[in-house]
Structure 1
Amino acid sequence: MSSFLPPTPPGASPVTPPTRPVIGYRLPSPLPRALVVCDFDYSLIDADSDEWAITLGGTRPDAEVAMTRMAQRHRDGENWVYLVSEEIAGLFESKALADITALRELLAMIPMHRGTVALLHDLHARNVDVIVVSDANAFFIESILESYGVRHCVRDIITNQSRIVRSVSGHDLLKIAPLQAKPSAPSNGSKKLVAANCPRQRCNWNLCKSAQLAAYLSSRIQYDRVFYVGDGYNDLCPLALGLVDCAFVRADRRLHRELVAVESVENLVAELAVGMPVRQGRFNRMENADAVEGECGQESWYMTQSRVPCAAVLWATGDELQARVVRELERV
């Protein structure tokens, strides 16, 4: 700044440049940012979307035979995503599904609880980001969310790919493909192919939810709290890796059973070897369980569990899910 000052006259004192005043204030802190991560099948909806489509909503005459055949092929090592794609293509070819519109109409009938619909609208009104991380596929999820008028409430969908293609006979078909690339060989010492980017070496090779969620969080704004809604075994991975502050676990389903399972010493050592945090006791965002029970009146839906380092809240219906997610959001 001194180079722009006028020259000092002879005998005069030098001109002192002005200094910037120090202002003692802080900008107000923004409101806490929360992210709600949702599984889809038996979490946002009350059914399995793959099974619903393959069995034509339970109306297919040979539904049990078809599902049993697919389950056996899956046990033999075939990837479930390819099996679903093949089965849906067969329904189009046999005219059991007339066209893509018929498939959309079938998916629109899948049950989604009114409380879950209300929750998505509520989260959108609160400017809470919601994403879906699911082993279903984009067409199924998009179609169902649109049919319930809640697609705009979901910011992003991370799932297996799907596209509509024209068949040789001139009909539109749905093709489903895995989200992640197939590894060349097993990497965990077993015959089963697992996701190459799965830190625990447990997830099916086409999708590791913890790897996908970690990548998502690293590429977005910093969230103060991350909530997770899930029910299945592949929902355990993001909880176990410490990516979540509070998990909303659907009661009496696989994830619930995994969290309360009594593990052997051998299994515990194996989990620790692959970096899965294992802690003992009851976990809440509050500093101690007594404060939670005193404040909330013996909230029995807080799980006592030892397999993941986050709070775990049980729910059974969409109404319960809505009430408990909102309650956690409003905790200071």
Structure 2
Amino acid sequence: MDANIVLVFDFDKTMIDFDSDEWVVDEMGLIQLFNQLHPTMPFNTLMDRMMMELHLQGKTIEDIENCLKHVALNPWIVQAIKSAHALGCDLRIVSDANVFFIETILGHHGLMHYFSEINTNPSVIDKEGRLRILPYHDLETSSCCSNSCPPNMCKGVIIERIRESVSAEGRKRFIYLGDGKGDFCPSLKLEEGDHVMPKKDYPLCELICNDPLLMKAKVHRWSNGQELEKVLLRLIKTIIAEETKNIDLSQVHSSNWEFSTNPVYPMKHFPVSL
């Protein structure tokens, strides 16, 4: 069953409780170098530099994979993903992490097939066996639309592309879940009838609260995995009920119109009793 809902998840600190980049840096002993270099370069470039350092230390792709396989997923969020998919939602990810990290984590937990698309920074393994992390947008030519977007990725542009790609299938309702500053731009791209779910006490929620009139979408806050599942599933079921009601009403109106204009069986008029 198609619910006519596109459900878009951020990944770090939304689907998982922390930042996957920082997890790898910390677990593999690079936190001191990471903190030293962090002020000097864009985050995406910094993570590529960290992968070079791991390679120089003799760490393999398998070592990085094994590190990522220790990332835990909140069971409530796992259930929310499975339930939303079962209800017919089109699940997608828009994240400033990278393909290798996200696919390794989701694959380890058996969740890859629930998502129709993952939009994130590309990653490749070069001929020397080093993991390279590249920007989603070309850093030299990209023109991000607001100060909330990092130079390597404008999530607002991605949301606009997704909406355009599904428009041929009819009107879709979007639900966007995120936490960070970079999730503000895509939230602004949502339309009336859409919904945004910011994580409480995180930058996205603060930015929305600072100027709520900028949002066309309805706002639903959450603070933990259990609350995310409860709010999200209630929202999905409400939208499905509204859509079903609209379809039923349109069928009734269509049926009445066809009956009333039938030249062979005109509608009968009965006297009104007062």
Q: Same fold (TM over 0.5)?
A: yes
2:173 match: 225
Question: Shift of the alpha carbon at 1:80?
Answer: 1.5
**Runs of at least 4 residues of structure 1 off by over 3 A?**
198-202
How far apart, CA to CA, are the structure 2 residues paired with 1:157 and 1:31? 20
**Higher RCO by CA contacts (8 Å cutoff, separation 6 or greater):** 2
1:3-18 superposed matches below 5 A: none
Determine which of 78, 87, 91 is the counterpart of 2:54: 91
Matched with 1:141 is 102
**CA deviation profile, 1:281-318 (whole Å, cap 9, x unmatched):** xxxxxxxxxxxxxxxxxxxxxxxx33422211111111
Q: Which amino acid aligns with 1:42?
A: K
Residue 15 of structure 2 is aligned to residue 44 of structure 1? yes
Cα displacement (A) at 1:32: 4.3
Name the SS for the 1:158 alignment partner: strand
1:248 to 194, 197, 212: 197
Distance change (3 Å), C-alpha of 1:36 and 1:175? same
User: 1:209, 1:257 → 2: CA distance?
Assistant: 18
Q: Deviations over 1:49-85 (max 9, x none)?
A: 11011112xx62x62x223213211xxxx32212101
1:272-291 equivalence runs, <5 A: none
Q: 1:327 aligns with which of 234, 238, 247?
A: 234
Q: Which residue of 2 aligns with 1:316?
A: 223
Structure 1: runs of 5 or more not aligned: 1-29, 185-194, 262-277, 279-304
Q: Measure the CA separation in 2 of the matches of 1:243 and 1:209.
A: 15
Contact 1:35 1:223 in 2 (8 A): no
Q: Give the number of the structure whose residues are more often helix, by fraction.
A: 2
Look up the equivalent residue of 2:170 and give its one-letter code: Q
Deviations along 1:237-291, one digit per CA (max 9) or x if unpaired, are 0112334711111111111121223xxxxxxxxxxxxxxxx6xxxxxxxxxxxxx
Q: CA RMSD in A?
A: 1.9
Match of 1:177 among 134, 138, 155: 134
TM-fit CA distance, 1:230: 0.1
> What is the identity percentage for the equivalent residue pairs of Structure 1 and Structure 2?
26
Larger-gyration structure (1/2): 1
Q: TM-score, normalised by structure 1?
A: 0.67
Q: Deviations over 1:57-115 (max 9, x none)?
A: xx62x62x223213211xxxx322121011112112213x3x21121111111232101
Task: Kindly provide the CA deviation profile for residues 199-229 of structure 1, in whole angstroms up to 9, marking residues without a partner as x.
Answer: 4464222110010110121122334310000
Q: Which runs of 5+ in 2 are unaligned?
A: 243-274
Q: 1:223 to 1:51 in 2, by over 3 A?
A: farther
Deviation at 1:45, TM superposition (A): 0.7
Q: Residues 89-143 of structure 1, C-alpha deviation per residue, up to 9 Å, x if partnerless?
A: 2112213x3x211211111112321011111111221221110001110000100
Query: Which residue matches 1:258?
Result: 207
| 1:131 partner letter | R
Corresponding residue to 2:91 among 112, 117, 130: 130
TM normalised by structure 2 equals 0.80
CA contact (8 A) 1:47 1:110 kept: no
